[in-house]
Amino acid sequence: MYKKAASFLLAAFTATTAIAQTTYLQLNQEDYQLLDRLETRSGELSSDLFLTMKPVARKGEVKFLMEQRKNAGFTGLSAIDRYNIAHAISVSGEWAPESDGAIDSKHPWFKTFYKKQPDFIHVNTDDFFLVANPILTAHGYYEKDNPNGGMLVSSRGLEARGMIAKKVGFYTMFTDNQETVPSFVKQWADSNDAVPGADFYTIHGNGKYDYLLAKGYIDFEAIKDHINVTFGYDKHFIGDGMTSLFLSDFAAGTPFLRLNTRVWKLNYQNLYMELTPQYRRGSDRRLPHKYATMHQLSINATRWLNIGIFESVIFDRRDRYEFSYMVPIILYRQVERSLGSPDNVLLGLNFKAIAAKHLQFYGQLLIDEFTSKELAAGNGYWANKFGIQLGGKYFDAFTVKNLDLQGEINLVRPYTYTHFDSTANYTHYNQPLANPLGAGFAEILGTIRYQPVKNLYVSVKGMYYQKGVDTGNANFGGNIFKDYDTRSYDYGVGLINGVKVQCASLNLNLSYELRENLFIDLGGSYRRYAYENGLYPTQSTTYMYGGFRLNFARRDYDFY
């Protein structure tokens, strides 16, 4: 506790002498798709973005977009791309060359509100910048054969970001949320004591979840244009795919301290987090903590190839951070061994390659633990724990402007992410930190994105997976919340271990932007979940939805 307080005081002191700062593009915003396709269409990886590590700094985003707008004629971008670029720069207009690039509104409210198109409140002086916006969403769902009938998901709140004296950047967001979810999501939430993406929640009436979401951070540059320090509470994502084997945004937010160093063609991120181990819901009480340190080194090795090295350690200490894991260097496996090997260390490699200004290929290799002798023997040794992701993207597919395709395969061996100490498993607040499926699965994902006109976004997403699940008291390795010492056997462990289930789902979504960041959504989903040999009844879910959202990302349920 004292060490955490000292770290914060050091950060606050450093901020007083910092030169500049930035804020970050919130996860799941439409702009990430734009940045991804523009980088590939340009034919060259950007050292301002490093999209493998999210969230991305608005400062780097705008610098990249300004370059793309300048070269739009040379790269053959469409009129829709040019519109999207102007829109994205306007939303982060404080980083435009004129320092106020947000587009003026033609009809501001009472000459005070919405003076700028994206911003309800917009203040920009020499020493202070502030943008504040309301958050409001309401989506109605109808699920076929659901006895509860219609469902409603709604959120209301506020977000604000700004700069103080061009030295300290800040962001804060708060929403109050009520959510009645599809039946398969409710089944998952009730069995895991968790609402996906949320922390504490209450249940009302016929299964309505009520919870608060809050995010916030301060940011400053310790060394101009090279080292940023961020302290706050938020989510992160490491990877180029639809899911991640390293760190995804599926679980709840966490308190964190992040050091991001960018030099030449290198980007190195140190992430220190305070997590909540698994627990059973009950009376109000103080929950214990566990901790994580994660490192990601990303290198633009060539104009078209990015490679990365990942490392993480999850550890349990009684309300204190392990000082040995605060050293900002790679290779914590040696540090962990020097402590007696009590903690959960994972290593990873990743890559991204672009080709022909239309294609992108990416992948991740996660290594939890393995024995080369046992791996070569091919005898299904339980401790050969690893995961593999391979994926590809095709932008402006088949010469159709703004038609983008993506496909992805994820394979994760049983018992990956688990540990002999359940508090050191790869989870937070009863939710996986990486892929929502946990371990012991093979998954195929595909998505089609199309923007036929400037304000209409069409997407189709499909998923199919096979996974091994437990029966009775058995532990076949698919449930990462269980201690691996309770495994059923040591050898003969296949990729799909235990009782096999198969799941297929398909989602169609249409989003229309009425005005800046105000979307109307309409869509539907189908999901089929079946046990092999008819061990349990097959579950089929069909639902449709419609609604609106203002300054908020769309809530998806096609994650498992």
Q: Which tens digit of pLDDT belongs to each residue from 78-115?
A: 999 999 999 999 999 999 887 778 888 888 898 889 99
Cα–Cα distance measured from residue 236 to residue 55, given in angstroms and rounded to the nearest whole number: 6
Give me the pLDDT at residue 288, please. 85
Give me the pLDDT at residue 319, please. 67
DSSP string, 311-377: EEEEE--SSS--GGGGS--S-HHHHHHHTTS-SEEEEEEEEEEEETTTEEEEEEEEEEE--HHHHHH
For residue 63, give both structure tokens. 């610098």
What digits encode the pLDDT tens for the residues 125-177?
989 999 999 999 999 999 988 766 678 899 999 999 999 998 999 999 999 99
DSSP string, 251-278: S--EEEEEEEEEETTEEEEEEEEEE---
DSSP 451: -
Q: What percent of the chain has pLDDT over 90?
A: 72
Residue-averaged pLDDT of the chain: 90
Cα–Cα distance measured from residue 460 to residue 523, given in angstroms and rounded to the nearest whole number: 10
Residue bearing tokens 């069409």? 458
What digits encode the pLDDT tens for the residues 12-39?
444 444 456 789 999 999 999 999 999 9
Give me the pLDDT at residue 157, please. 97
Q: What pLDDT band is residue 243 in, cutting at 50, 70 and 90? A: very high
Cα–Cα distance measured from residue 312 to residue 2, given in angstroms and rounded to the nearest whole number: 23
DSSP 25: P
Using the predicted structure, report yes or no on whether residue 338 has a pLDDT greater than 80: no
Query: What is the phi/psi pair of residue 353, to 5°?
Result: -135, 140
Using the predicted structure, report yes or no on whether residue 4 has a pLDDT greater than 90: no
Which sign does the torsion angle of CA 410, 434, 160, 170 carry?
Answer: negative
Comparing 90-99, 133-142, 217-226, 229-238, the range with the smallest average pLDDT is: 90-99
CB atoms within 10 A of CB 8: 13
Q: Are the beta carbons of 259 and 278 closer than 8 angstroms?
A: no
Cα–Cα distance measured from residue 164 to residue 555, given in angstroms and rounded to the nearest whole number: 32
Q: Please state whether the peptide bond connecting residue 55 to the residue before it is cis, i.e. omega within 30 degrees of 0.
A: yes
Q: What percent of the chain has pLDDT over 70?
A: 92
Q: What pLDDT band is residue 284 in, cutting at 50, 70 and 90? A: confident
Give me the pLDDT at residue 335, please. 61
Using the predicted structure, report yes or no on whether residue 458 has a pLDDT greater than 60: yes
Tell me the one-letter amino acid at 159. E
Give me the pLDDT at residue 334, please. 61
- Domain spans of the chain? 2-550
Helix (H, G, I), strand (E, B) or coil at 461: strand
Cα–Cα distance measured from residue 410 to residue 363, given in angstroms and rounded to the nearest whole number: 9
Give me the pLDDT at residue 148, please. 67
Cα–Cα distance measured from residue 514 to residue 511, given in angstroms and rounded to the nearest whole number: 9
Using the predicted structure, report yes or no on whether residue 469 has a pLDDT greater than 90: yes
Burial code of 325-358, b = ≥16 C-beta within 10 A, e = fewer?
beeeeeebeebbeeeeeebbbbbbebbbbbeeeb
Cα–Cα distance measured from residue 410 to residue 450, given in angstroms and rounded to the nearest whole number: 24
CATH architecture assigned to 2-550: Beta Barrel (2.40)
Residue bearing tokens 């540990």? 419
